[in-house]
Chains A and B, each alone.
Chain A
Amino acid sequence: DAGITQSPRHKVTETGTPVTLRCHQTENHRYMYWYRQDPGHGLRLIHYSYGVKDTDKGEVSDGYSVSRSKTEDFLLTLESATSSQTSVYFCAISELSLGTEAFFGQGTRLTVV
């Protein structure tokens, strides 16, 4: 299995609080992604990174920020959590430009109450 771990795996937080999710990889892949998965919407891209300090927005980036200060870690921050951000969050890694597969973490279930 590809070396990709997400933490925490489960979190319950209150509306208005900041939350940070961590994705850690040991594969030295250049590309890292954050997705959210919701019933009826499938997987939607929040942000992605194509190198250290290089990030870009996905289709549902409002209310989220990311940082990548080193190759192995990609952090997703909900600046002020809202109930609409209750979801399952997945991190993925890839070297698509080299024709290799993308691999996913096990997901973080976030509940905002």
Chain B
Amino acid sequence: KQEVTQIPAALSVPEGENLVLNCSFTDSAIYNLQWFRQDPGKGLTSLLLIQSSQREQTSGRLNASLDKSSGRSTLYIAASQPGDSATYLCAVDGGGATNKLIFGTGTLLAVQP
């Protein structure tokens, strides 16, 4: 059974700092890993999708890496801003060909002005 863990559960940083969020998964036989952002009371917004054949994806100040063999992904946020404050979730497909997205419990990020 695929299990996804995100560390830390919460993080507070001053504005301008670079930061790394971590995601680990137990079954390395995944096809995709996706990072999402969720603002309070809102739905999930897709940030980056990394396919299993890729090692990283970049979008603006965000960079996500994937190491399937070790079951890890990181989301790097450069030059953090107060508007980055949100919960960040990673999700992997369920392994094999199930196409079920399995989520971690998220990291609550607060960027202090």
Residues of chain A whose beta carbon lies under 8 Å from any beta carbon of chain B: 31, 33, 35, 40-45, 48, 50, 58, 90, 92, 94, 96-97, 99-107
- Contact flag A94-B44 (CB < 8 Å), given A99-B32, A102-B34: no
By a CB distance below 8 angstroms, the chain A residues around B110 are none
Q: A33-B100, A94-B99, A97-B97 are in contact. List 14 more A-B contacts (CB 8 A).
A: A33-B101, A35-B103, A42-B104, A42-B106, A43-B91, A58-B100, A90-B43, A96-B31, A96-B32, A101-B49, A102-B34, A104-B45, A104-B46, A107-B43
Q: How far is the CA of A44 from the CA of B104 in the complex (A)?
A: 9
Shortest Cβ distance from residue B72 to the other chain A in the assembled complex, whole angstroms? 18
What sequence of 0s and 1s flags, for each residue 5-49 of chain B, a beta carbon within 8 Å of any chain A beta carbon?
Answer: 000000000000000000000000001101010000011111001
Cβ-defined contact, B49 with A42, below 8 A: no
Residues of chain B whose beta carbon lies under 8 Å from any beta carbon of chain A: 31-32, 34, 36, 42-46, 49, 51, 89, 91, 93, 97, 99-106
Cβ-defined contact, A45 with B49, below 8 A: no
Cβ-defined contact, B105 with A102, below 8 A: no
By a CB distance below 8 angstroms, the chain A residues around B91 are 43, 102
